[in-house]
């Protein structure tokens, strides 16, 4: 489907396109002056007018020789930031309401297209509303389905006492951009580890960043709350290489209380590697089957079996890991509801302490997006997501973080569940953006949260492995500039 979009608020073009994709999935949304727009299957024309302190949005939809239109009026808002925010909302809501009329669909997340819908819930609480009132308000404003509003409420209540705002707190993220094979749905810059030739120069550059981050933490007077080693698959590294990374991190950030290592692929773990990780202050690992169906695992390019997952859980328990997360994905290619139900039953037997239920996202850079894969019907995906929710509750868990992505099957969500007391604070920090992050490794994005004015500034690392290795000093300099520290070499005693 190709849609030609005209709007006299061009700054909101992408936001209107996001709303259109809620209803038209993979639609290509083109500006009306694009050479291919003349061959579009449909056209949306949006106009904005401001008169006597009111905004009026007019949306006109033309497709198949028919036209539908809608006008919405709301009181104009003053102040540059408030005005931009509420005008965007008005434009999106008008387009959303028209598309709902045209298609007869009621998307579960209503007009919400953002990554972090909990933010809107917190906004309602900040206005003095109770949880029940906040859920009602979100349903009224954004046409959110009641179960999604309730899910947001569950997440927000789980975060109470865990989501803090401290000016001097920081989390450390360390990315290991290697995997044994590439999953069909992967859109990360991680590559296959192959013959491992890139590992040594990468780890050398990473050790430079770890040392510089240690100095930065000391000089800026920060305290490290959590360390998260992700990727990629950190455990794709050899025993000795992973041990080297863990030693450097444990020496650099000895006061961190929460340590997570993504041990994503069961085929990258053995008893020795797990025992070695136990020797460090690792409080949580993630062993991710994604599905317990071997045929699906083969189809999505993962080089392990369900039996290996089961064996690895037993090994990790024997070694003493008492907080293991499991990632699963709804709507994997070829899977039906009964397949996902079997995976959930298997998950319940393995009894992880936390469960992350993802909905498949068909990202542009993934092999799956470029293949002939036919997406699973949105209603089926919704039922799978609901099954995941019920299974997590039956395991005694509660939802504690949630995010949405573009191109997700059924336009749904990813939800992290955990047993009481075992939620991962780093995941909350990342999703709610309430704590600064020093992010090390390729493509990692450091964030500094200025608590006084809830402003966030970012310093990204380059994603290309070769560029990262060659330019690691520049990555260090970007982080030091973010914390307004002098360049390394003048005040950084570690370099």
Q: Which of 264, 410, 441, 443 binds ligand SF4 (CB under 6 A)?
A: 264
Alpha-carbon distance of 438 to 459, in angstroms, equals: 9
Q: Which of 40, 91, 183, 360 binds ligand SF4 (CB under 6 A)?
A: 183
What lies within 8 Å, CB to CB, of 262 at 6+ separation is: 228, 229, 230, 231, 232, 233, 234, 235, 285, 286, 288
Query: What three-state secondary structure class fits 411?
Result: helix
Alpha-carbon distance of 261 to 94, in angstroms, equals: 44
267-to-179, 314, 331 alpha-carbon distances in Å: 11, 14, 23
Does residue 179 touch ligand SF4 according to CB under 6 A?
A: yes
CB of 146 vs ligand SF4, minimal distance in Å: 33
Q: How many residues bind ligand SF4 (CB under 6 A)?
A: 10
CB of 366 vs ligand SF4, minimal distance in Å: 9
Does residue 190 touch ligand SF4 according to CB under 6 A?
A: yes
Does residue 361 touch ligand SF4 according to CB under 6 A?
A: no
Of residues 43 and 328, the one with the C-beta less far from ligand SF4: 328
Structure tokens at 273: 């590697």
Does residue 233 touch ligand SF4 according to CB under 6 A?
A: yes
Of residues 231 and 266, the one with the C-beta less far from ligand SF4: 231
Of residues 231 and 388, the one with the C-beta less far from ligand SF4: 231
Phi, psi dihedral angles at 162 (to 5 degrees): -100, -25
Alpha-carbon distance of 364 to 369, in angstroms, equals: 6
Q: Which of these segments, 186-194, 337-345, 411-419, 486-494, binds ligand SF4 (CB under 6 A)?
A: 186-194
CA 391, 393, 397, 398 torsion: positive or negative? positive
Of residues 137 and 329, the one with the C-beta less far from ligand SF4: 329
CB of 360 vs ligand SF4, minimal distance in Å: 11
Q: Is the omega angle on the peptide bond into residue 162 within 30 degrees of 0, that is, cis?
A: no
Provide the mask over 66-85, with x wherever binding to ligand SF4 is found by CB under 6 A and - wherever it is not: --------------------
Of residues 24 and 188, the one with the C-beta less far from ligand SF4: 188
CB of 463 vs ligand SF4, minimal distance in Å: 13
Specify burial of residue 314 (Cβ count, 10 A radius: 0-12, 13-18, 19+).
Answer: exposed
Alpha-carbon distance of 42 to 29, in angstroms, equals: 10
Of residues 116 and 182, the one with the C-beta less far from ligand SF4: 182
Structure tokens at 357: 């239920």
Alpha-carbon distance of 445 to 457, in angstroms, equals: 10
Of residues 158 and 288, the one with the C-beta less far from ligand SF4: 288
Q: Which of these segments, 99-107, 162-170, 176-184, 455-463, binds ligand SF4 (CB under 6 A)?
A: 176-184
Does residue 186 touch ligand SF4 according to CB under 6 A?
A: yes
Which residues within the stretch 419-458 sit at the binding site for ligand SF4 (CB under 6 A)? none
Q: Which of 108, 117, 153, 232 binds ligand SF4 (CB under 6 A)?
A: 232
CB of 34 vs ligand SF4, minimal distance in Å: 32
Q: Which of these segments, 72-80, 178-186, 203-211, 480-488, binds ligand SF4 (CB under 6 A)?
A: 178-186
CB of 186 vs ligand SF4, minimal distance in Å: 3
CB of 324 vs ligand SF4, minimal distance in Å: 17
CB of 429 vs ligand SF4, minimal distance in Å: 21
Does residue 188 touch ligand SF4 according to CB under 6 A?
A: yes
Residue 256 in contact with residue 281, Cβ under 8 Å? yes
Alpha-carbon distance of 110 to 133, in angstroms, equals: 18
419-to-190, 320, 430 alpha-carbon distances in Å: 30, 18, 19
The DSSP line for 318-371 is: HHT---EEEEEEET-TT--HHHHHHHHHHHHHH--SEEEEEE-B--TTSHHHHT
**Residues at the contact surface with ligand SF4, assessed by CB under 6 A:** 179, 182-183, 186, 188, 190, 231-233, 264
């Amino acid at each position: 489907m190709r849609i030609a979009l005209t709007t006299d608020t061009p700054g909101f073009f992408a936001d209107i396109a996001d709303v259109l994709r809620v209803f038209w999935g993979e639609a290509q949304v083109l500006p009306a002056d694009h050479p291919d727009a003349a061959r579009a299957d449909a056209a949306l024309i949006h106009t904005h007018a401001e008169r006597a302190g009111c905004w009026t949005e007019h949306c006109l939809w033309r497709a198949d020789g028919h036209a539908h239109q809608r006008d919405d009026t709301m009181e104009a808002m003053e102040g540059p930031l408030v005005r931009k925010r509420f005008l965007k909302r008005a434009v999106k809501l008008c387009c959303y309401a028209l598309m709902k009329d045209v298609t007869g669909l009621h998307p579960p997340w209503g007009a919400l297209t953002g990554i972090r819908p909990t933010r809107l819930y917190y906004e309602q609480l900040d206005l003095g509303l109770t949880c029940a009132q906040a859920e009602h308000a979100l349903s009224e404003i954004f046409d959110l389905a009641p179960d999604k509003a309730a899910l947001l409420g569950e997440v927000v209540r789980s975060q109470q006492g865990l989501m803090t705002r401290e000016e001097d707190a920081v989390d450390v993220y360390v990315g290991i951009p290697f995997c044994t094979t590439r999953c069909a749905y992967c859109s990360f810059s991680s590559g296959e580890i192959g013959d491992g030739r890139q590992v040594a120069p990468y780890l050398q550059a990473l050790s430079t960043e770890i040392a510089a981050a240690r100095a930065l933490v000391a000089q800026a007077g920060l305290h490290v709350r959590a360390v998260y080693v992700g990727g990629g698959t950190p455990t794709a590294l050899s025993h000795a290489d992973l041990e080297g990374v863990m030693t450097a991190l444990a020496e650099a950030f000895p006061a961190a209380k929460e340590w997570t290592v993504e041990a994503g692929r069961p085929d990258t773990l053995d008893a020795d590697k797990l025992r070695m990780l136990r020797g460090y202050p690792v409080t949580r690992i993630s062993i991710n089957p994604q599905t317990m169906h071997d045929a699906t695992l083969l189809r999505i390019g993962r080089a392990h079996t369900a039996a290996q997952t089961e064996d690895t859980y037993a090994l990790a328990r024997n070694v003493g890991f008492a907080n293991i997360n499991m990632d699963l994905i709804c709507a994997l290619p070829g899977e039906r509801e009964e397949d996902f139900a079997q995976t959930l039953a298997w998950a319940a037997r393995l009894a992880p302490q936390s469960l992350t239920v993802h909905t498949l996202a068909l990202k542009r850079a993934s092999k799956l997006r470029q293949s002939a894969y036919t997406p699973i019907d949105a209603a089926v995906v919704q039922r799978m997501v609901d099954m995941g929710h019920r299974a997590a509750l039956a395991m005694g868990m509660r939802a504690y973080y949630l995010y949405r992505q573009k191109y997700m099957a059924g336009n749904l969500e990813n939800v992290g569940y955990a047993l009481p007391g075992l939620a991962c604070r780093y995941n909350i920090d990342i999703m709610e953006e309430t704590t600064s992050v020093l992010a090390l490794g390729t493509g990692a994005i450091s964030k500094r949260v200025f608590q006084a004015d809830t402003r966030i500034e970012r310093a990204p690392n380059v994603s290309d492995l070769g560029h990262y290795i060659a330019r690691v000093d520049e990555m260090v300099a970007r982080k030091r500039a973010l914390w307004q520290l002098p360049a390394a070499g003048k005040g950084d005693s570690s370099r």
